[in-house]
Homo-oligomer: A and B are copies of this chain.
């Protein structure tokens, strides 16, 4: 594709930008929270919105495939029989917006303040899907798409993609492709376009400790009843030693250590103590002894409590021994840890450690191994070039601490690598109150996608 053609397309994109942004706000208004039963219809509504948009973009065989929870959307644009096929992945479901009180504007009433668009899903990842669709619209309205594109947008990413693997297995030939573009991985900073080549996996659990049949008066019974809340705290506390190491038996057995060269490369990224402290506002960092902050986040497994509940948590005092206590606990995993082995290890820990005074139940909510794949080949080079031409800097190739289990699934089932990228920023507050999208970065991202789609 000629440079002139590309520049014309980008010029056209700038003309349609405002209209596309307004349409995007409509998508953000739909509270497609996949984890909540109450929002099932909203997730469907978001799916319908995308199906309609794909059809307008002249995609063929567009369909929302029903699953046990939320549909998987597929569509294809196969206008270039001799050219390679790119499968683009996205998810249109979002995280719950809690705690609501901490939002400065409503999570599903998008608001632009300064250079940011605030809304749940704006960055993770409706904004990334919209970048793809906007780039394609600019191309279709300016000329022709020189490659074949298939899209797969799921509505269950935030609940661990329970239907995806089966869908990939069942639709292998429909999904046949040469490479996958997965823009769910983000970039390091507004001036640091990024491709990610390794991600952490995940194992997510819910642990319930039950004691008395109902909340008890802490005066009439306190002293001889094992308090489920105290016991839960004790169990969680025992899951780490004083060096920040996780104590579950065999937890580190399969961890692949990184090379000295990679340690050196990681140290150069600028993702340092100052970066983490400034981004998060914590008074001091913590973590596993013997590793730098960026090594801990990109290359080491974790065990974090994501939620805790027991007893009375409203204002004031209530003097009870809670009937039960609950913790949501998740482990981020690294190559080559096996989520099921981690599950079994946690189970053994509980079998050995929970005192007789209480009962316990462990639910294994979801699990996925880590992902690792060196970026190389024509397509990778073309994508890196598109980033470089757009930003005027050498793109960064890096690991990431997050989890995109779909990349692992697609590699395992379709046998295809993913370009893990995207235009979200570390301070977009994804999964947190006041999630936002940096609009100038997002705009550059769309330009980069246009360059990439037209460059093969």
Q: Contact residues of A with B, CB < 8 Å? A: 35-37, 95-96, 98-99, 102, 158-160, 200, 202, 204, 211-227, 229-230, 232-234, 236-238, 240, 276, 279-288, 293-294, 296-297, 300-322, 325-328, 330, 332, 355-359, 365-366, 400-403, 426, 429-434
Contacts and interface: CB of A to CB of B under 8 A. Distances in A.
A248 to B, nearest CB: 14
Number of copies of chain A assembled together: 2
A335 to B, nearest CB: 15
Contact of A237 (B37, B237, B330): B237
A432 B224 contact: no
Given A35-B316, A224-B297, A305-B311, 19 more contacts: A35-B315, A35-B318, A96-B318, A98-B312, A211-B280, A217-B402, A220-B426, A222-B297, A222-B302, A222-B401, A223-B293, A225-B282, A226-B282, A229-B306, A233-B234, A283-B356, A306-B318, A306-B320, A313-B328
A319 B404 CA distance: 12
B306 A308 contact: no
B223 A330 contact: no
Given A233-B236, A357-B286, A217 B432 contact: yes
B302 A307 contact: no
Contacts of A365: 316-317
Contacts of A158: 317
Contacts of A236: 229-230, 233-234, 237
27 contacts: A36-B314, A96-B318, A202-B219, A211-B282, A214-B433, A215-B431, A217-B431, A218-B330, A222-B302, A222-B304, A223-B287, A224-B287, A225-B285, A225-B287, A226-B286, A230-B236, A230-B303, A234-B236, A237-B237, A306-B318, A306-B319, A306-B320, A307-B311, A307-B312, A307-B318, A308-B311, A319-B330
8 tightest A-B CB contacts, nearest first = A219-B402, A213-B281, A226-B286, A35-B316, A237-B237, A223-B296, A229-B305, A233-B233
A305 B313 CA distance: 11
A349 to B, nearest CB: 14
A348 to B, nearest CB: 20
A96 B281 contact: no
Nearest to A359: B283
A433 B215 contact: yes
Contact of A317 (B284, B287, B306, B318): B306
A322 B306 contact: yes
Nearest to A355: B286
Contacts of A296: 223-224
Given A297-B220, A302-B218, A430-B217, A281 B226 contact: no
Contacts of A160: 317
Given A216-B280, A304-B321, A286 B96 contact: no
